[in-house]
């Protein structure tokens, strides 16, 4: 086809527009939670040639020392970007104080009522699309006045190539865990909502009956200092391991999965679902307390064993029930792995954000296609939600 014939090709204008490079600025707080940091990193690596992404951090030690500095910089350089993606409330404040017309907001998992009210006010005068990592958070925002047409669900993405399902005896040895120990992993960062204290109590009950039960935590999070003091207070009653302190170095959360035998979730509030999804992808059997956020992912007898009351003794009893039935262990772990592939595929996460960015850059209405239920979800009460 010669150049003069392009005008007669009906899809030419669309094709040219679709090839335009979309410039995205990602703003994130320096002390942001693990799930947000992993999302920023994943998009930076995987969006493709049609996008250019710059990432800037806000806070002590970051690219901008505070919100005001970030906002002033965006005001000066706003024309250099098509979209600002704000991860967290401080990042949204910086983005909306500047002239940037198109903004994507990814709220933190533990978004408080005051923050929701402020977001609702911002939406009244700025073009902001809210992307929630859980259906629970999305429902909460909509119930408190955020327009549903501007509030979308994109679940975090698990990079399955980074999940090692084989046990790693060398790692267990470095964590002072023997091959005979039964390691209970409390997933994710240590926060008040994650309630690792209760996991420690449940592990203590099991450890007193059988010293081979050990609790493993990552050793990160805003409440890790408090958790360490609580662990010390229990003295010799419990054998607990905080991975990064034991290893003397940083380790990615996926690296801990090959040292665990069972996952113990005692979350009482909103927690990041990415670490739980990673545990599901590793086909680790899960025992969990029932809460709204965790209830999105897990169902009793289907892909986990659940406890209706946050009672450490009941949690310990569920662990014993699970260990006594190898068939049940395999069944719920296999179903969890199947559903992790269906709901938390990294390619789906990237493709959904790629679609949001393209729609915003083209001035179109933002619409994120809902997850379709797969083979494992046929019998799950959540369906394709």
CB-based contacts of 85, cutoff 8 Å, min separation 6: 24, 25, 26, 27, 43, 103, 104, 105, 106
Q: Are 167 and 97 within one domain?
A: no
Identify the band that residue 229 occupies on the pLDDT scale cut at 50, 70 and 90. confident
Identify the band that residue 232 occupies on the pLDDT scale cut at 50, 70 and 90. confident
Q: What is the mean pLDDT of the chain?
A: 87
Res 378: pLDDT: 38
Tokens of 309: 């009351």
CATH number of the domain bearing residue 215 = 3.40.50.2000
Residue 291 lies inside a defined structural domain of this protein: yes
* Alpha carbons 196 and 230: distance in angstroms, whole number: 10
Q: Are 149 and 193 within one domain?
A: no
What are the distances in angstroms from CA 190 to CA 84, 139, 226, 252?
30, 25, 9, 15
What are the distances in angstroms from CA 12 to CA 2, 16, 363, 376?
13, 6, 19, 42
Pick the more confident residue, 101 or 256: 256
Q: Are 149 and 213 within one domain?
A: no
Residue 217 lies inside a defined structural domain of this protein: yes
Q: pTM of the entire structure?
A: 0.88
Residue 381 lies inside a defined structural domain of this protein: no
Residue 85 lies inside a defined structural domain of this protein: yes
Please say whether the beta carbons of 237 and 211 come within 8 A: no
Reply yes or no on whether the pLDDT at 16 is more than 70.
no
What are the distances in angstroms from CA 204 to CA 14, 197, 201, 212, 319?
62, 10, 5, 11, 12
Residue 3 lies inside a defined structural domain of this protein: no
Residue 380 lies inside a defined structural domain of this protein: no
Which residues pair with residue 288 across a beta bridge? 265, 306
Identify the band that residue 223 occupies on the pLDDT scale cut at 50, 70 and 90. very high
Q: Are 164 and 285 within one domain?
A: yes
Q: Are 46 and 192 within one domain?
A: no
Q: Are 139 and 186 within one domain?
A: no
Number of structural domains in the chain: 2
CB-based contacts of 163, cutoff 8 Å, min separation 6: 254, 257, 278, 281, 282
Q: Are 151 and 35 within one domain?
A: yes
Pick the more confident residue, 384 or 352: 352
Res 231: pLDDT: 84
Give the domain extent around 253: 160-343
Q: Are 139 and 167 within one domain?
A: no
Please say whether the beta carbons of 293 and 138 come within 8 A: no
Identify the band that residue 364 occupies on the pLDDT scale cut at 50, 70 and 90. very high
Q: Cα dihedral sign for 61, 64, 68, 71?
A: negative
Q: Are 66 and 180 within one domain?
A: no
Reply yes or no on whether the pLDDT at 15 is more than 80.
no
Residue 370 lies inside a defined structural domain of this protein: no
Please say whether the beta carbons of 172 and 180 come within 8 A: no
Q: Are 316 and 244 within one domain?
A: yes
User: Which range has the worst mean pLDDT, 23-27, 241-245, 263-267, 367-371?
Assistant: 367-371
Q: Are 185 and 150 within one domain?
A: no
Residue 317 lies inside a defined structural domain of this protein: yes
Each residue of 144-170: pLDDT tens digit?
Answer: 999 999 999 999 999 999 998 889 999
Q: Are 329 and 354 within one domain?
A: no
């Amino acid at each position: 086809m010669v150049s003069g014939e392009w005008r007669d090709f009906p899809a030419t204008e669309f094709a040219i527009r679709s090839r335009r490079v979309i410039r995205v600025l990602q703003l994130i707080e320096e002390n942001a939670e693990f799930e947000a940091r992993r999302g920023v990193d994943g998009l930076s690596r995987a969006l493709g040639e049609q996008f250019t992404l710059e990432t800037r951090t806000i806070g002590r030690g970051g690219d901008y020392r505070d919100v005001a500095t970030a906002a002033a910089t965006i005001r000066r350089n706003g024309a250099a970007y098509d979209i600002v993606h704000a991860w967290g409330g401080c990042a949204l404040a910086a983005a909306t104080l500047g002239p940037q017309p198109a903004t994507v907001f990814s709220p933190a998992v533990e978004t408080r009522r005051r923050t929701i009210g402020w977001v609702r006010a911002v939406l009244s005068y700025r073009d902001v699309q809210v992307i929630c990592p859980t259906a629970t958070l999305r429902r909460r925002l909509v119930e408190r006045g955020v327009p549903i047409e501007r509030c979308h669900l994109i679940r975090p993405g698990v990079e399955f190539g980074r999940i090692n399902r084989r046990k790693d005896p060398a790692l267990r040895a470095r964590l002072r865990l023997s091959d005979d120990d039964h390691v209970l992993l409390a997933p994710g960062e240590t926060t008040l909502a994650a309630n690792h204290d209760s996991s420690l109590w449940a592990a203590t009950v099991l450890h007193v009956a059988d010293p081979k039960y050990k609790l493993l935590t990552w050793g990160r999070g805003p409440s890790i200092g408090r958790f360490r003091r609580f662990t010390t207070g229990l003295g010799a009653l419990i054998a607990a391991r905080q991975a990064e302190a034991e290893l003397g170095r940083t380790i990615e959360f996926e690296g801990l999965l090959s040292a665990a035998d069972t996952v113990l979730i005692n979350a009482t509030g909103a927690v990041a679902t990415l670490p739980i999804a990673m545990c599901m992808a590793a086909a680790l059997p899960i025992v969990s307390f029932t809460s709204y956020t965790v209830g999105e992912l897990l169902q009793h007898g289907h892909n986990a064993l659940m406890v209706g009351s946050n009672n450490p003794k009941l949690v310990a009893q569920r662990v014993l029930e699970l260990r006594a039935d190898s068939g049940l262990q395999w069944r719920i772990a296999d179903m969890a792995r199947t559903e992790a592939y269906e709901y938390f595929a990294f390619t789906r996460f990237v493709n959904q954000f790629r679609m949001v960015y393209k729609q915003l850059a083209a001035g179109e209405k933002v619409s994120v296609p809902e997850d379709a239920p797969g083979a494992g979800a046929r019998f799950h009460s959540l369906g394709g939600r």
